[in-house]
Amino acid sequence: MNDSYSALLDAVAFDADGLVPAIVQDADTDQVLMMAYMTADTLRETLDRGQMVYWSRSRQARWVKGQTSGHTQAVEEVRLDCDGDTLLFKVRQEGGACHTGYRSCFYRRVEGNTLHTDGDKVFDPDAVYDDA
């Protein structure tokens, strides 16, 4: 048992499923890249490695960001909000954060009653993921 993160882990209010949302921001540009969820274990692993590790709610499995794609996220800064139920990470993003090939998952902007795609496509998902 590693107690090196007890201050943070004691302050995090994990939800009924044992998860906490993590907002991920580009350390250079402050662009919001994605949001995903962590368990206490994947939070500890993230801090140990200095690389983002999540919990996939759809696959119910640990998810090392960039393991398949190479698009890793190195942790630069970790923040906690006032009521402890949301984390904010600043990261150095390799390639793109989004599995669709965009730099950020938030590549769709609301414009009147349309969703306008205006993100930067930085890789071809067909070339990166076997199942894409």
* Residues of this chain that bind its own copies (CB under 8 A): 3-8, 11, 21, 23, 25, 29-32, 34-35, 47, 77-83, 86, 88, 98-100, 102, 105-110, 112-115
Beta carbon of residue 114, minimum distance to its own copies (angstroms, whole number): 5
Beta carbon of residue 72, minimum distance to its own copies (angstroms, whole number): 18
3-state SS record for 95-132: CCCCCCCECCCCCEEEECCEEEECCCECCCHHHHCCCC
Alpha helices, DSSP H, located in 12-76 = 40-49
- Report the candidate in 107, 85, 111 with the shortest Cα–Cα distance to residue 34: 107
Q: State the Cα–Cα distance between residues 118 and 31, nearest whole angstrom.
A: 13
Beta carbon of residue 9, minimum distance to its own copies (angstroms, whole number): 10
Beta carbon of residue 130, minimum distance to its own copies (angstroms, whole number): 19
